[in-house]
């Protein structure tokens, strides 16, 4: 199911944002061996989803309540600081929580970021293999890489963990 369908189902009352987030978190746990996700903030995400369900309809964005994963490269969500796939930077940057303009726009549309996807260090490799993490695997054939620095995002969407994820392309990642 794509993000527009999930948003439509939430807006139409077929599913709550809380249930959509529970489903995404359950799938993230089920597919943890894919190496697609390097960080998850379950409690914060469930709290945001509950809050989303209580938000009056006139204040909802076009992707209101849709579970979303950010790429661990470049931009930060308030509860998930990106580190470019560099373990040493992650420990330092986690102390400086802020929200980038990009994630402010994502969240303004109603997306709920609950985790970060795998990237190679500084995004400078043809596969998403962050240090001290599992390499991202193609969910359709785990012997293969999803490729590119957005491989974690690609694997998460292809596995159905989320209907949409943050990805970038500087040299063929997508």
pLDDT in tens, the chain (174 residues): 899 999 999 999 999 999 999 999 999 999 999 999 988 999 999 999 999 999 998 899 999 999 999 988 765 665 565 566 666 666 666 666 667 788 889 989 999 999 999 887 777 777 777 777 788 899 999 999 888 888 899 999 999 999 999 988 776 655
Residue 92 pLDDT: 64
Is 97 one of the catalytic residues?
no
pTM (two decimals): 0.87
Helix (H) or strand (E) holding 49, with range, is helix 42-54
Q: Which of 75, 145, 150, 173 is catalytic?
A: 173
Q: Which of 39, 71, 128, 137 is catalytic?
A: 71
Is 71 one of the catalytic residues?
yes
- Angle at 66 (CA atoms; ends 7, 162), nearest 5 degrees: 115
User: In the chain, at which residue ranges do the beta strands (DSSP E only) sit?
Assistant: 37-40, 67-71, 112-117
**Structural domains of the chain, with CATH:** 3-158 (3.90.1300.10)
Question: Of the candidates 168, 115, 172, 117, which has an alpha carbon nearest to the alpha carbon of residue 139?
Answer: 117
Q: Which of 83, 145, 149, 150 is catalytic?
A: 149
């Amino acid at each position: 199911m794509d993000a527009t369908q999930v948003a439509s189902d939430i807006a139409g009352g077929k599913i709550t944002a809380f249930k959509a987030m529970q489903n995404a978190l359950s799938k993230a746990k089920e597919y943890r061996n894919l190496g697609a996700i390097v960080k998850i903030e379950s409690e914060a995400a469930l709290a945001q989803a509950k809050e989303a369900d209580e938000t009056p309809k006139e204040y909802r964005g076009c992707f209101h309540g849709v579970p979303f994963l950010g790429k661990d490269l470049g931009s930060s969500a308030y509860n998930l600081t990106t580190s470019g796939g560099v373990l040493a930077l992650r420990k330092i940057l986690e102390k400086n929580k802020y929200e980038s303009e990009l994630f402010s726009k994502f969240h303004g549309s109603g997306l709920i970021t609950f985790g970060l996807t795998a990237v190679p260090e500084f995004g400078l490799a043809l596969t998403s293999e962050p240090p001290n993490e599992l390499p991202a695997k193609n969910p359709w054939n785990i012997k293969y890489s999803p490729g590119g620095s957005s491989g974690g995002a690609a694997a998460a969407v292809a596995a159905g963990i989320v209907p949409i994820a943050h990805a970038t392309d500087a040299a063929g990642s997508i």
